[in-house]
A and B are shown apart, each in its own frame.
Chain A
């Protein structure tokens, strides 16, 4: 527990009753959560080691309500922590004692689908999977697929610019977002973009994507929907050496093949996931790749044949192409449940740095050394095609000091990612978790320019202010 929250504003805490009453006049009673018991459901997110009880929770049903609430908070100097489903792994939705939580989960409808233009307009509280389900009857889907897609909202996806296992081919949120309706802190409703490609003027849409709830509250989104491929089939490759798996990834891409997914798991991750999902993963290898290709049967056969030929010189110990829908589902179940399955055997923190893929073997060996030096264990699952690592640093909460050690190990791993030319976070966001590491990736001028831009939207630092930027040296203009 080494990450500090800003000291709560005593004056705001003292005015809690007045603030709650003020909000009560703006929204229906069922949209306002005041009691301690009910507020507790919102005290943390996916980063459960950290908890803060908010002043109150507001769950509006319309853009107008969001606007009214934000204007009130702006006028009364009340901080606002926007929230989707609260699945953030970096603490992006963790409240502050002197802040209200503004949740968009009640706004979860599909407003319009246009299959000819391949767009869907949705309210921002809809789940990621909810969009795909709403368009599946025509064979369409929404492409970014974070592992939490069953629960996470598009609002949260936009806030974090979420990715997923299939972004090697389809891109991340920012590449699939055409427009948003966003409410600024002063209550102004802004329409950015629309159903056309490339919004006019400055790319404010691109700026909003990944801004972690610090620029405004998105209430509606227009996303691209895509026609799903005719089929998809994963294949498993097991290797005796980490270096061989890394070289195989480079060789596949070097041959001009961009698989729709290219996932890496190390031995501990394979064993944990196999025990949970019974996916048929090889247990006697050091590294495994899941390579998925899409298309018709004929195209898939052709592509997998090429990939097998490319893989052979790296002497895979196991090569297994999925033979059925059920087998494919099991292979993905193992991968997508990696975090949950690890949670069954240990407490863990999940890091999310990205590295240049050429550094893969070096970085994996260093991660191993780092974690061992703290006397802990690690399981690695990650998107090998784009170098987005997810080392799961395992510890036992009941052993005093172990969590702090895990946090230190995580910090060292992220510094390593930056050192080799990568970044602190590939898809989970900075939140509170990586806030104090930002100075490793950015110098003062880089951060100042970001804060100046942030200040254009929220000069008072009321929107999700505990996150992203180190607490020292903040300014608005």
Chain B
């Protein structure tokens, strides 16, 4: 990596020239921001790197229209700071991977889009892809392409915005992204229920999420001895409304007896550790998996995994998002996890493991033949020479 040439285009045209030349010469490009997520995905061999770090700055912010545009290399924290100054935020609460991956630097807003990075509020407000309303990017031909725009209701033409979200730089080099934003809630309060096992915890979360009280966070964190745990239910909004809904929620869940209300800095830190999966990081040298499944299947999924592996875990998204750490030996638990996704549905991604482990495994959930055929076709339609982040998601993509 160290002697590889790094392109840092100053503008879109510059990026287009670099990529067109790479396509002509067959130069394989690694697409990056500041590299804070470099140790994720399939390790790939590239000849050069193209980074968005020189493409920075907020290009449009209209608080009354709930919309912000930024060049792809703009730090996420900068975007959040500018929004916060007007009492707004990114609705999907993007995770910060640095603690989990042990990386440093400024995560970029482009990567949030490219990797569809969301957090606990995803259950209520949607994922990054749901708030992403416009993109500009350079495809593997070196062509500048736009899709979507700056308005939140837009069904004009094929929604390439969605394809770009979560394509990990394999389809195009993002130069500018536009997000829908929301007001920051006036108040946040968390109901903590203690002493529930996984199944009871998920049941409590399902009751809360099935209530009319607009839950914006629903996590269950088992204790180390697995006899109980902390079940977290978050409410946000105007003060009067949060007070009212919290009372109703307590009444609804009164059969779970040990309840506390958590607010302020401590509660914020707790949700940050849920968001960033740092509840798992103090476990030394282990692999970390991220699983999305139907919320009610969460405990069964984990149960099956824990039968064969020394696993640690916690649940977000009402039980539908599982963070699971496994020992690194053998296949780091891949065959057991993938058995479970076949049984219970959903998909598992190996988020953290050393390069040698990730290079021998399917990091992303293998797809059906029909989906893989479409995936290959889509890749070729954006990047016919296969020069953009080749193999980062799937072999040959």
Contacts and interface: CB of A to CB of B under 8 A. Distances in A.
B378 A456 contact: yes
Contacts of B65: 250, 253, 356-358, 387
A202 to B, nearest CB: 6
B365 A200 contact: yes
B162 A174 contact: yes
Contact of A117 (B159, B212, B241, B295): B295
Interface in B153-190: 153-163, 165-167, 171, 182-184, 186
B165 A206 contact: yes
Given A174-B130, A256-B184, A299-B244, A454 B158 contact: yes
A453 interface: yes
B345 A207 contact: no
A148 interface: no
A210 B212 contact: no
Contacts of A210: 155, 158-159
A254 interface: yes
Q: In this complex, which of A161, A206, A299, A421 has the most chain B Cβ atoms within 10 angstroms of its Cβ?
A: A206
Interface string B121-141: 011001101100000000100
A422 B151 contact: yes
Nearest to A247: B64
Contact of B153 (A196, A306, A388): A388
A207 B320 CA distance: 23
Contacts of B159: 161, 174, 206-207, 209-211
A75 interface: no
A455 B295 contact: no
A275 interface: no
B268 interface: no
Interface stretch (B7-15, B101-109, B369-377): B369-377
B336 interface: no
Contact of A230 (B154, B212, B293, B346): B212
B62 interface: yes
Contact of A198 (B116, B151, B393): B116
B381 A449 contact: yes
Chain A interface size band reads: 35 or more
B240 interface: yes
B49 interface: no
A409 B292 CA distance: 49
A452 B145 CA distance: 13
Contact of A426 (B118, B155, B158, B166): B155
A46 interface: no
B317 to A, nearest CB: 6
Interface string A188-205: 111110111111111111
Contacts of B321: 197
Contact of B345 (A195, A256, A450): A195
A425 B64 CA distance: 21
A336 to B, nearest CB: 17
Given A116-B295, A299-B244, A202 B370 contact: no
Interface stretch (B29-37, B203-211, B256-264, B281-289): B203-211
A171 B126 contact: yes
A286 interface: no
B295 to A, nearest CB: 5
Interface stretch (A14-22, A102-110, A394-402, A437-445): A437-445
A227 interface: yes
Contacts of B151: 354-356, 386-388, 421-423, 426
B194 interface: no
Given A114-B296, A194-B345, A298-B240, A203 B166 contact: yes
B2 to A, nearest CB: 32
A204 B371 contact: yes
Nearest to A438: B157
Interface in A329-379: 354-358
B347 A299 contact: no
A227 B153 contact: no
B166 A456 contact: no
Given A202-B378, A428-B155, 11 more contacts: A117-B206, A175-B126, A184-B370, A196-B294, A203-B162, A207-B158, A253-B64, A442-B157, A453-B382, A456-B380, A468-B157
18 contacts: A190-B374, A194-B346, A198-B116, A198-B122, A203-B166, A206-B163, A253-B64, A256-B183, A386-B151, A386-B152, A386-B153, A426-B155, A427-B155, A446-B145, A447-B157, A448-B143, A449-B145, A453-B381
Q: Which 10 A-B pairs have the closest CB atoms?
A: A206-B162, A256-B183, A456-B377, A426-B153, A200-B347, A250-B64, A452-B381, A195-B294, A196-B346, A354-B151
